[in-house]
């Protein structure tokens, strides 16, 4: 792909849809980068608690946003399934999900392939139970009740897989019972929902391409893919994927900071942001076909899911070895939880991870920080000793998501 294609608006439709799956996958790389940091610094017992809290805090809020963007109305099974198809938790292909609507109050979905399961199965049966039982039960319901507080998702069968290697990996039933008790929003859901980040506007722009879905107000399509969307709508959906991961980091920060030292939580999230950003940057660079040079680094930053809508990115390439990147917006509050607060405070880990994924001689330095503005200088030097791959990246690469190849 030509280097001129450096921003979402400039990508052709096919490339944009492919990038969209990478942005969805980033939501899994995010988690794979976080949990080893939690285990090492806070203990194994904290992993399940964090995993439940981050999704319960974030998913109802980003589901509400996606429903609004895509004009998904109603509170029946099809409305819930539409939202699941646009959730970073259900990355297309990596989480190969099938759907069947029985009636407006009953449906089933199943995973022909679950990348998350293949990550934990080698770690033993207890880790499988932790994910597929202890984590899935409350978080599936939290996502469903964002559309209907009387919705429940229950397993028909789920791992540990019996017999070994069983497919589909799991199968679930969605039921809406008007006589059941409504589930009240979790306090963390309300806390995240009150943040300015949740109210950032993200509307599809005027579409110059007549083809494709401008929203998802029509019938549910069990075979929906990102290519079905119009160009402008696809851009807006990608930005929501970035928002979803950003809200997960926010939710995790709020939960952890109530239980642990704030500076330690920041260290954990900085390492996580570096690991996930590095692995994702290498994947996006291959997709875009950019070179491992300063132009390529800037191109990847402009197409990276680590920065949310509401934060404007501008860049200047000074010469063949140096550039600067500026982030601006009212959301850049040093007190903001999650990665957004790290960025506002001039944390270099994500920018460094992106740059060094392409050229290990890259160095990143922070320029003077002002209100609502932060800038970084990037330079590469072939005479400089390349850095070793950070531990945060090595941990992230343990996941099958790191080397996953999309069919489409």
- What is the residue-wise DSSP string for 309-332? TT-EEEEEEEETTEEEEEEE-TT-
Q: Which helix (H) or strand (E) holds 95?
A: strand 95-103
Mean pLDDT in residue range 265-289? 97
What pLDDT sits at residue 370? 76
The Cα 120–Cα 51 span in angstroms is 14
Strand, coil or helix: 288: helix
What pLDDT sits at residue 1? 31
Strand order across the beta sheet in which 363-366 lies: 312-319, 322-328, 373-379, 363-366
Peptide bond into 269 cis (omega under 30): no
Q: In this model, does residue 274 exceed pLDDT 80? A: yes
The Cα 181–Cα 172 span in angstroms is 20
What pLDDT sits at residue 207? 65
- Residue ranges covered by each domain of the chain: 8-251, 262-396
Q: In this model, does residue 108 exceed pLDDT 80? A: yes
Q: Which CATH number fits domain 262-396: 2.60.40, 1.10.3470, 3.30.1380, 3.40.50?
A: 3.30.1380
Q: What is the pLDDT of residues 171-219, one digit of tens each?
A: 999 999 999 999 999 999 999 999 999 999 998 776 666 689 999 999 9
Tokens 């033993």 locate to 124
Q: Judging by beta carbons within 10 Å of its beta carbon (0-12, 13-18, 19+), is residue 343 exposed, middle or buried? A: buried
**Number of Cβ atoms within 10 Å of the Cβ of 177:** 11
Q: Out of 2-11, 14-23, 332-341, which region has the weakest mean confidence (pLDDT)?
A: 2-11
The Cα 388–Cα 393 span in angstroms is 10
Q: What is the pTM of this model?
A: 0.95
Q: What is the pLDDT of residues 38-61, one digit of tens each?
A: 999 999 999 999 999 999 999 999
Taken as a whole, the chain contains a residue count of 408
Q: In this model, does residue 6 exceed pLDDT 70? A: no
Three-point CA angle 228, 233, 238, nearest 5°: 95
Residue closest to 107 by CA, chosen among 79, 77, 136, 83? 77
The mean predicted confidence, pLDDT, of the chain is: 94
Tokens of 238: 């990608």
The Cα 383–Cα 6 span in angstroms is 27
């Amino acid at each position: 792909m030509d280097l001129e294609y450096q921003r979402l608006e400039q990508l052709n439709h096919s490339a944009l849809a492919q990038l969209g799956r990478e942005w969805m996958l980033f939501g899994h790389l995010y988690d794979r980068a976080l949990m080893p940091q939690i285990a090492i610094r806070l203990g194994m017992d904290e992993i399940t608690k964090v995993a439940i809290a981050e999704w319960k805090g974030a998913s109802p809020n980003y589901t509400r946003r996606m429903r609004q963007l895509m004009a998904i109305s109603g509170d029946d099974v099809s409305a819930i399934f539409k939202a699941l198809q646009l959730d970073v938790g259900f990355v297309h292909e990596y989480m190969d999900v099938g759907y069947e609507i029985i009636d407006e109050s009953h449906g089933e979905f199943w995973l022909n392939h679950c990348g998350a399961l293949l990550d934990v199965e080698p770690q033993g049966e207890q880790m499988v139970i932790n994910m597929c039982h202890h984590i899935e039960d409350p978080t599936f319901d939290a996502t469903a009740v964002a559309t209907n507080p009387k919705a429940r998702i229950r397993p028909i069968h789920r791992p540990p897989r019996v017999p070994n290697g069983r497919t589909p990996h799991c199968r679930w039933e969605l039921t809406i019972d008007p006589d059941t008790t409504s589930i009240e929003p979790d306090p963390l859901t309300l806390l995240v929902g009150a943040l300015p980040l949740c109210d950032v506007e993200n509307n599809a722009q005027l579409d110059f391409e007549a083809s494709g879905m401008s929203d998802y107000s029509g019938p549910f399509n069990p075979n929906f893919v990102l290519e079905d969307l119009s160009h402008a709508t696809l851009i807006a959906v990608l930005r929501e994927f970035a928002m979803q991961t950003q809200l997960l980091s926010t939710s995790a920060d709020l939960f952890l900071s109530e239980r642990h030292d704030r500076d330690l939580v920041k260290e954990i999230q900085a390492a996580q942001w570096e690991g996930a950003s590095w692995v994702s940057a290498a994947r996006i660079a291959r997709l875009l076909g950019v070179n491992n040079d300063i132009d390529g680094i800037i191109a990847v930053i402009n197409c990276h899911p680590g920065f949310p809508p509401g934060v404007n990115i501008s860049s200047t390439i000074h010469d063949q070895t140096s550039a600067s990147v500026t982030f601006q917006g009212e959301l850049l509050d040093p007190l903001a939880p999650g990665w957004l607060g790290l960025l506002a405070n001039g944390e270099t880990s994500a920018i460094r991870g992106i740059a060094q994924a392409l050229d290990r001689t890259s160095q990143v330095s922070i320029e003077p920080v002002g209100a609502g503005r932060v800038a970084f200088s990037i330079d590469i030097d072939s005479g400089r000793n390349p850095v070793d791959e950070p531990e945060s990246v090595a941990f992230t690469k343990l996941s099958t998501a790191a080397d996953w190849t999309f069919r489409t």
